[in-house]
Amino acid sequence: MDMAKNYEELSVDTIPSRLGVLEEIVTRIGADVENWHVKEVGDGNLNLVFIVEGSGGTVIVKQALPYVRLVGDSWPLPLYRAYYEHEALLRQEERAPGSVPEIFYFNREQALIVMEFLQPHIILRGKLIAGQRVANLSETMGRFCAQTAFRGSELSMKSIDKKADVGVFAGNVKIPAITEALVFTDPYFDAEMNQNTPELDGFIKKLRDNIALKSRVQAMLMKFASNTETMLHGDLHSGSIMSTDDDSRVIDPEFVQYGPMGFDIGMLTANFLMAYFSQPGHRDEADLAEYQTWILTTITEIFEHFNAEFKHLWKTERTGMLYPKSLFEDQGHSSEAACNDVLDHIMRDAVSFCGIEMHRRVLSLAHNADFEMIEDTSLRASLEARNIAMGVELILNFETIKDVASLTSMAKRFNEGDYI
């Protein structure tokens, strides 16, 4: 049910009077409401985001809009997504402590979350475009993906709790539909809202004629839509991470749903690969190779941290109904091979989801700035083509990528290629 009846959109002018009466907020930023400074900073596709600064502190105010901001009110979108985002943030904090902003206040009717102002964090995508390195990024993200994947699954949770939670998030119906269309379907035909760099037209036509590719992507959509292995962030790209030089936090889980364990880490990897392929559009030869190497090292280390953390949780927190100790250790049988099988399965799915995300960000709606900021469209198209070509290989030949080393060497190979 959507709680839109008394919903009122916030604005820079109305925030002091509307939020200044709330104890939870006043204690965070000060009661001298007339001195509050409010700025709208939302640059995402969906929501309003304000920084509200007072004499006693600063908070972020995020409010869902009843339509897709990127497109306008011709595309309505339920406000209830803020409820699911809030629920997801609570679980992520529990499962991966310290990884998300602290929440100070939530109002379901107003689709409003007031949370910690992360400072001096900025959106990771901006840092990747600017060629900045972030220390500890791979550890934070590898552990976040492993902890949320493991602790949100029936490897760890009691089956009744996990199944009830699947029921809770099943109410977020319209949000997965966006991913189902924009990520898995629209890129592979001439859908109405699609956009692409014009120089790619011929290349894209051939891609859309690839029946094996479409079929394989639809198989992954079936998995995404039907498989409830764990609670996903659901939209884990470099715009959903805020970083300083050495600290990173995950934001924006409004696309939360239960789904396959390889989805989040696959999407994340795709966004690092797009950062990698787009680098020639952002820097000179002098820094290029070194920075691209740093991105690939980051991908490698994310998987290393993911695997290490997952194995650690397997040993120490395997309390769910899946692969129970009663069946392995209690019988004097090792479960190590079983754990490696699960990790292989996650890797295979991650590789396919990665290829699909690499496609949708250049073929469908909602492109990313990594490529979009490259003004020379012929250069942009040649870099996007490398990204698309590698995506095809990942989707069709996912079984040949057994480890992250194969993934990064494949990226180096496609980075040398000329595909248009």
For residue 207, count other CB atoms closer than 10 A to its CB.
Answer: 20
Applying CB under 5 A, does 252 fall inside the site for Mg ion?
Answer: yes
For residue 350, count other CB atoms closer than 10 A to its CB.
Answer: 29
d(CA 128, CA 182): 24
**From 113-121, 189-197, 251-259, 369-377, span contacting Mg ion (CB under 5 A):** 251-259
Applying CB under 6 A, does 68 fall inside the site for ligand SR1?
Answer: yes
d(CA 195, CA 181): 14
Q: How far is the CB of 41 from ligand SR1 (least distance, A)?
A: 16
Pattern 227-256, binding to ligand SR1, x per CB under 6 A? --------x---------------------
Applying CB under 6 A, does 357 fall inside the site for ligand SR1?
Answer: no
Closer to Mg ion by Cβ: residue 44 or 260: 44
Applying CB under 6 A, does 178 fall inside the site for ligand SR1?
Answer: yes
> Are 148 and 231 contacting, i.e. CB atoms less than 8 angstroms apart?
yes
Applying CB under 6 A, does 185 fall inside the site for ligand SR1?
Answer: no
Tokens read off for 20: 């200044």
d(CA 219, CA 224): 9
Closer to ligand SR1 by Cβ: residue 88 or 313: 88
| Contacting Mg ion within 31-50 (CB under 5 A) | 44
Give which of ligand SR1, Mg ion, none residue 176 binds (C-beta under 5 to 8 Å, depending on kind): none
Applying CB under 6 A, does 52 fall inside the site for ligand SR1?
Answer: no
B/e letters for 385-410, b = 16+ CB within 10 Å, e = fewer, are bbbbbbbbbbbbebeebeebeebbeb
Applying CB under 5 A, does 357 fall inside the site for Mg ion?
Answer: no
Q: How far is the CB of 21 from Mg ion (least distance, A)?
A: 29
* H/E stretch holding 156: none
What's the number of CA atoms in the CB half-sphere (13 Å) around residue 257?
A: 24
> Are 145 and 304 contacting, i.e. CB atoms less than 8 angstroms apart?
no
Applying CB under 6 A, does 70 fall inside the site for ligand SR1?
Answer: yes
Applying CB under 6 A, does 186 fall inside the site for ligand SR1?
Answer: no
Pattern 80-99, binding to ligand SR1, x per CB under 6 A? --------------------
What is the contact surface with Mg ion in residues (CB under 5 A)? 44, 252
